Structure 1
Amino acid sequence: MKDDDVIQWRFENTVIAEINKRTDRITVYDDVLDGRFRDRLKLDNQTGSLTITNITTEHSGCYELQTNKFRMRFYFRLNVFARLPVPVISNSSHCSSSSSSSSCSLVCSSVVNVSHVTLSWYRGISVLSSISVSDLSISLSLPLEVEYQDKNTYSCVLNNPISNQTTHLDINTLCHTCADSVHWCGPTEAVIRLVLSALVGVATVIIVVYEIRSRRAERDQAHIHTSGSIEI
C-alpha cells in the first residue's frame, strides 16, 4: 500500500480510519458508531494495516479497505465470540402422593449474550438433543428424561465455533424418587421442623412441671387437713 495516497478503512459502510500520505496525516474517527472504536484503533503509516485493541463482540461485522491509486477494495468479515457461561442442570420432576414415575426429569439451561451458540445433551460422546440460536441475550433450556438407576454418563454442553462449556450430570445428587423425597427436605424445611420440635419439647417440659407442682400442692393441702384434725 506504500504507493497509495489515501488509504481508508470502513466498518459497515462507515469510515473509521484514514491515512492521507499527501498531507502526512492519520485520522481516526472515534465518535462514529456510538464511539465503539474510541481509543481502540491504531494505523500503521507504512503498511496501512489496522489494529483494534480491547476488541469485543460489538466489533463483529464487515470491514472494508479502500485505496485510491488503483481504486481497489478489500473486504473482511470479523466474528468476535465472548466467553461462554457454564450451563446449569436442574431437576424439574414434581412428586405427588399418586406419582409412580420411574424416570427423572431434568433441564439444562443457560442465559447467553453471544451469537451462534448450541446447547446439547450428550450421553457419553453421542448427541441426544440440541438447540441452536443466532440471537443475542436469550435464555436457552433443553429437557432430558433419565431412569433413576441409569448408569450412563450424561453431560450438557454449550458451545460456539471456537469454545465450549460443559456440565456433567450427577444422577445420584439431582435425581430422587418420590419415596426418597418423603424423607428428604431442603434447608428451609429442615429449619421449620427443628423449630417445631423445639416448641413441642418446651411445651412438654411445661406440662410436666405443672403436673409436679399440682401434685405437690395437693399433698401439702392433704397434710394440712390431717394436722388440723389431730389438734381438734
Structure 2
Amino acid sequence: MEGDSVTLTPNDADIKGENLIMWRFGHNSLIVKINRNDNKRQFPDERFRDRLKLDQTGSLTITNTRITDSGLYQVLGTSKDTPVSIFNITVYAHLPVPVISNSSSSSQQNCSLLCSVVNVSDVTLSWYKGNSLLSSISVSDLNRSLSLHLECLDDSYSCVVNNPISNQTQHLDLSQITWSDCHCCGSTEAAI
C-alpha cells in the first residue's frame, strides 16, 4: 500500500561470497550498491532519495512507497552476469470512499443512482443490494462512475470500490438523496 515499507531479501545462497551487491529498478536503472568489504553504500538514483536502506546481508528496504515504485527489482553480484534474485512489486494507492448521488432528471420516469470514484486506477467499482452483486466494472482510468437504474428504493444498496488489497464501501442513505422527480416501485434493473 502506498506509504508503507517493503523489504526485499535475496536468497543467501545466491549472494554468498559476493563482495559487491547491486540493486536495479526496471532493467537498467542502478538504484543502490554496497561493497560488503568496507560497508560503503552508494545511492545513485534520486527517485529513491532518503527512502532506501540496504543492510550488510543485501536486503533492500524501500520506505514511504509510492505507486511509481511498482515494477521489477533485480539483485546482481559482481561474479554473475545475470540477476541472482528478481522481485516484482506492485504498490497500490489508498482508496477513497465512493460517492453516491442521484443522476435522475425531470425527463426521466425512473430513479438512477450514480456511484463515482476519482483519482484511482486499476480498481473494480460495484453495486450491491444486500450481499448480492448487481453490476460491476473494472476501472483502469482515474475517474469513473457506475450507474444503477432503480424502480424500488430501500437502504440495502451499497457501492464498493476495491483493488486486490483493500476496499471502501458507501451505503445508500435515502435521506441524503433528493427524489422529487422519481416515481419508484416495481423491480430493480442494473446498468453499466
TM-score interval, normalised by the smaller of the two chains: 0.7 to 0.9
Structure with bigger strand share is 2
Larger relative contact order (Cα-Cα within 8 Å, sequence gap ≥ 6): 2
Instruction: Determine if the alignment matches structure 1 residue 141 to structure 2 residue 145.
Output: yes
Q: What secondary structure is seen at the aligned counterpart in 1 of 2:48?
A: coil
Q: Distance in 2 between matches of 1:176 and 1:37?
A: 51
Q: How many residues align?
A: 167
Residue 158 of structure 2 corresponds to 155
Give unmatched runs, 5+ long, in structure 2. Answer: 1-14, 184-192
Residue 164 of structure 1 corresponds to 167
Structure with bigger helix share is 1
Going from structure 1 to structure 2, the CA distance change for 1:26 and 1:172 (only over 3 Å counts) comes to closer
Residue 229 of structure 1 corresponds to none
Going from structure 1 to structure 2, the CA distance change for 1:44 and 1:179 (only over 3 Å counts) comes to closer
Q: Distance in 2 between matches of 1:76 and 1:166?
A: 32
Going from structure 1 to structure 2, the CA distance change for 1:178 and 1:53 (only over 3 Å counts) comes to closer
Residue 53 of structure 1 corresponds to 63
User: Which whole-Å deviations, capped at 9, do the CAs of 1:94-150 have from their partners, x for residues lacking one?
Assistant: 125xx6x2x31111111023x321111111111111111234xx1110101112x43
Give unmatched runs, 5+ long, in structure 1. Answer: 181-232
Residue 55 of structure 2 corresponds to 44
Q: Distance in 2 between matches of 1:63 and 1:133?
A: 27
Superposed, 1:128-207 pairs within 5 Å as 128-135=134-141, 138-147=142-151, 149-151=152-154, 153-178=156-181
User: Which whole-Å deviations, capped at 9, do the CAs of 1:175-226 have from their partners, x for residues lacking one?
Assistant: 524389xxxxxxxxxxxxxxxxxxxxxxxxxxxxxxxxxxxxxxxxxxxxxx
Q: Which of 88, 91, 110 is matched with 2:117 structurally?
A: 110
Residue 184 of structure 1 corresponds to none
For the aligned residue pairs, the C-alpha RMSD in angstroms reads 2.2
Q: What secondary structure is seen at the aligned counterpart in 2 of 1:84?
A: coil
Q: Distance in 1 between matches of 2:182 and 2:102?
A: 16
Percent sequence identity over aligned pairs:
50
Deviation at 1:151, TM superposition (A): 3.6
Q: Which of 131, 139, 142 is matched with 1:125 structurally?
A: 131
